[in-house]
Structure 1
Amino acid sequence: MTHTGMTGTGMTGTGMTMDNSGFDELFGGTRLMAILRGMGAERSLAVSTTAWDLGIDVVELPIQTADDVEALRVVAAAGRERGKVVGAGTVVSVEHVAQAVSAGASFTVSPGLDLDVVRASQEAGLLSLPGVATASEVQSALAAGLTWLKAFPASVLGPQWLTAMNGPFPQARFVTTGGMNAANAGEYLDAGAHVVAVGSALEDPAQLPQLAAILGAAPRP
C-alpha cells in the first residue's frame, strides 16, 4: 500500500477541526496492524518485514526510550522504500509528537484520550489515534470529530465491550490493542473491531497461517 499523504486533518485557516478519518485510507480495509514494542532497531525491522510480507501494511512502534525512537527511524525509512505506513505509539505528550515527526512517522497512537496530543499531531501533518476505555471517552472523542479510536487494553475490556459501544456509537471505528493474537483476533473482529493490532504473534511461526487467513477474510464495511 502506498500512502499518498495525510487526508482528513481538517485544517481550516488558523483553526482546526479534529478529524482522523484519514485512517480509512491508511488502513485500506485491512483487518490487522502490527505493534512492535521495545524490540530494538534490528529485530523491529525483521518483524516489520515479516508483517509486510504477510500483507500487514501498517506498523506501529511505541516510543518510550531513545532506542525506541531509533528503531522507529529505521523501520519508517524501510517502510517508505516499500510504500508501507509506519507510526509512533505510546505518544503521551507534545514532545513525543515532535520525536515521532523527526523519526519519520506517519501517524501517532496514544493509550488514552489527550486532545492536546491529537492537535499537535494534526498540526505536524500526522493522523492521531487516541485510546479509549469508557463510554464517556468514546463520546468525548466523537464529539471532538475523531471516529477512529484505539480500544485499550482490549484483552481486559473484552469483545463484549466492543459490542456494547457499537450500540450507541455506530460511527466509531475501533482498533483493538493489548493482548491480541491469532487465537482471539477473530472474536474481536466479529464483535465489531475494524482492525486488530498484533505483536508477538508475528514471531510465532504457528500463528502466521492463522493471521494470513484473517487477512484474507472480507474487511468490515
Structure 2
Amino acid sequence: MTDNSSFGELFNDVPLMAILRGMGVERSLAVATTAWDLGIEVVELPVQTPTDVEALRVVADAAHARGLSVGAGTVVSPEHVRLAKESGADFTVSPGFDVDVVRASHAAGMPSLPGVATGTEVQLALKEGLTWLKAFPASLLGTGWFGAMRGPFPQATFVATGGMDASTAPAFLAAGVRVVAVGSALEDPDQLPKLAALLG
C-alpha cells in the first residue's frame, strides 16, 4: 500500500505549481527562480532526455538551498524513478497511472503523483492508497470533470495539469481543484501579475 498524502504538506496553501518542460539547464533555473520569487514553491521538471536530467539536478540543488521541493515529471518507468532519485527529486509525477512506477517511487522515498483522466483510473489509484492525483489533460477534461469525480470520490485531491495558464486557472480552482500546474505562463510578463494575484 502506498501513500502520497505528504503532497498536502508539500504544496502547503499554494494553489500553483510550475512545470519546466524542455527548457535546458540555464533557462530552467531562471524560470524556476521566477516561480520561487513569485511565491510558487513547487516546481517539476521532466526526465525525458539527458539534458532534462541535468536541469533537474541543477534546479533541485537550488531549490534545496531555499528549503523548497522539486519533482521529476513524465516519469513512466522504474528507470525514470531511479534517475529522479539520483538527480535529487523529492517526488515524481506521471502522465498516467502505472502501479509499478508508483510503487518504485514509493520504495525510493518519493511520493508519486500519477495522472488520471477516468473514473476507473481514479478508483484504482485510490485503491493503491493515493489520494493526490494529477488530472491530465485538464484543459480537455474541463472544469465539469472535477465536480463529476467529487461525487463518487470525495477523498481525492486533484492537481490540474495540461493547458493551464493565468486565464484558465481561476475556473479550475473554483471547480475544486487544489493546485493548478502552469508552464509557459511563467515566461509571459503579462501573466505574471495575474499568477501573483492567484497566490493571494
How much does 1:63 deviate?
1.1
Q: Distance in 1 between matches of 2:123 and 2:173?
A: 21
Match of 1:200 in 2: 184
How much does 1:149 deviate?
0.2
1:87-166 pair list within 5 angstroms: 87-166=71-150
Per-residue deviation, residues 158-212 of structure 1 (Å, max 9, x unmatched): 1111111111111100001000000000000111110000000000011011101
Counterpart of 1:79, as a letter, is A
Could you state the TM-score of these two structures normalised by the residue count of structure 2?
0.99
1:24-43 pair list within 5 angstroms: 24-43=8-27
Q: Distance in 1 between matches of 2:93 and 2:17?
A: 12
Counterpart of 1:31, as a letter, is P
Cα RMSD, aligned residues only: 0.6
1:65 aligns with 2:49: yes
> Once superposed, which parts of structure 1, at least 4 consecutive aligned residues long, lie more than 3 Å away?
none
Flag structure 2 segments of 5+ consecutive residues without an equivalent.
none
Flag structure 1 segments of 5+ consecutive residues without an equivalent.
1-16, 217-221
SS of match in other structure, 2:199 = helix
Per-residue deviation, residues 53-109 of structure 1 (Å, max 9, x unmatched): 000000000110000000000000000111111010000000000000010000000
Percent of aligned pairs sharing the same letter:
71
1:177 aligns with 2:161: yes
Q: Distance in 2 between matches of 1:48 and 1:87?
A: 12
